[in-house]
Amino acid sequence: MTMLEGKVAVVTGAGGGIGAEIAKALAAAGARVVVNDLGGSVSGEGGDAGPAQQVVDQITAAGGDAVADTRSVSEWDSAQKIVENALDSFGRIDIVVNNAGILRDAFFHKMEPENWLAVIGVHLNGSFFVSRAAAPHFRAQRSGAYVHMTSTSGLIGNFGQANYAAAKLGIAGLSKSIALDLERFGVRSNCISPFAWSRMIGTIPTDTPEQQARVEKLKQMTPDKIAPVAVYLASDAAAEVTGQIVAVRRNEIFLMSQSRPIRSLHREQGWTPEALAERFVPTFGPDLYPLHRSPDIFSWDPI
Ligand code: NAI
């Protein structure tokens, strides 16, 4: 018996990159899969039914069971229909992998509202819409697993990605909230923070030699390395794992920290701005976080 025998999964944005590898791995583990992807450009323009169907064809050729779905995650109604597709095609839903994504990078002072709204719309709203569409079914059957894609661009930081960072940190909060609210129904929710060479990473600026060197390292991290972690988190083998963030980079996996107080300061008579000016930096100074970016923290070559 394979790890996901009898289960049905929706994987959004599964026409390429990480999502395609996750869809294929879920199918190989016995799940029947809705391969969702609207087949747009990396910035979310256009649409093409080809990528989702190609992944379905690969799954079918390998002896698995899958259907294509080309709806957008970023609208409430179409997200409902993505989940309905799982019920219509396979009679149930057990796993939601929120993987669909776009990038519209710009330095903050040049970021246009439409690029903010588009990125929030696909990543954060899309993850909410698809998760929410599955929730009544998970609740009724008293089981279900969510796997969402967050990013160290949000968890740590990166240049030129205010929209993406806000969406991805928002997804970490969404996942934790789902984990808390649905625990009573036996439903789990976890995040993967992946590192993988995909067309999305191809849009990282390569203006400086440091950035070019970074991209060369990223190319060694293939998207298939993310899939086993998604399969595990989606399976009953991870029954005790919920509300977690797992970073995956080539053959390394990391349990990521979550925000907790690290130092406190108390003043009997309450605080004034002047008292803070006197005490804040002398007390917290050694612990103030540097303005790290993701590559500062993941500074060694992928292994
Ligand atoms: P990708 O661009 O290859 O895959 C994203 C897929 O989502 C595309 O196939 C695209 O057509 C689809 N998509 C976009 N908008 C959609 C919508 N509204 N409805 C349905 N599908 C839609 O990129 P990649 O790298 O495979 O990214 C997958 C996920 O992993 C994304 O959520 C991304 O933010 C996340 N991630 C990737 C990292 C990496 O190193 N590649 C790093 C951190 C996070």
Q: What pLDDT, in 10s, does the model give residues 119-138? A: 999 999 999 999 999 999 99
- Sort strands 245-249 and 187-195 into parallel, antiparallel or unpaired: parallel
- Cβ–ligand 1 distance for 144 under 6 Å, the answer no
What's the CA gap between 25 and 221, in Å, rounded?
Answer: 17
Q: Which residues contact 99 (CB under 8 A, 6 or more apart)?
A: 11, 12, 13, 14, 18, 19, 22, 149
Q: State in Å: Cα 95 to ligand 1 middle.
A: 18
Ligand 1, residues 35, 78, 96, 99: which to mutate, most atoms within 8 A of Cβ?
A: 99
Q: State in Å: Cα 147 to ligand 1 middle.
A: 14
Which residue, 132, 140, 148, 130, is CA-closest to 185? 140
Amino acid letter at 25?
A
Which residue, 133, 18, 25, is CA-closest to 86? 133
Tell me the Ramachandran region of residue 263: left when phi exceeds 0, alpha when psi lies from -120 to 50, beta otherwise.
beta
Which residue, 166, 174, 149, 168, is CA-closest to 108? 166
Q: Read off the tokens for 272.
A: 């004034």
Predicted pLDDT at 220: 87
Q: State in Å: Cα 19 to ligand 1 middle.
A: 7
What's the CA gap between 232 and 187, in Å, rounded?
Answer: 15
- Cβ–ligand 1 distance for 39 under 6 Å, the answer yes
Instruction: Note whether 173 and 189 are within 8 A (CB).
Output: no
Please give the number of the atom of ligand 1 that sits closest to the Cα of 198. 25
- Cβ–ligand 1 distance for 42 under 6 Å, the answer yes
Q: Which residues contact 24 (CB under 8 A, 6 or more apart)?
A: 55, 58, 59, 62, 64, 227
**What's the mean pLDDT when you consider all of the chain?**
96
Q: Which residues contact 251 (CB under 8 A, 6 or more apart)?
A: 225, 302, 303
Q: How distant, in Å, are the alpha carbons of 83, 260, 270, 284 from that of 265?
A: 48, 15, 11, 9
Q: How distant, in Å, are the alpha carbons of 24, 28, 39, 285, 286 from that of 63?
A: 11, 8, 24, 59, 57
- Cβ–ligand 1 distance for 73 under 6 Å, the answer yes
Predicted pLDDT at 209: 87
Better-scored residue on pLDDT, 1 or 54: 54
Better-scored residue on pLDDT, 229 or 219: 229
pLDDT-based confidence at residue 203 (cuts at 50, 70, 90): low
Question: 18-29 pLDDT, tens per residue?
Answer: 999 999 999 999
- Cβ–ligand 1 distance for 100 under 6 Å, the answer yes
- Cβ–ligand 1 distance for 74 under 6 Å, the answer yes
Instruction: Note whether 263 and 204 are within 8 A (CB).
Output: no
Considering the entire predicted model, what is its pTM? 0.96
Predicted pLDDT at 82: 98
Helices (H), 32-161: 50-61, 76-90, 113-119, 126-141, 152-155
Instruction: Note whether 52 and 69 are within 8 A (CB).
Output: yes
Question: 238-296 pLDDT, tens per residue?
Answer: 999 999 999 999 999 999 999 999 999 999 999 999 999 999 999 999 999 999 999 99
Catalytic residues: 164
Instruction: Note whether 170 and 126 are within 8 A (CB).
Output: no
Chain center to CA of 101? 8
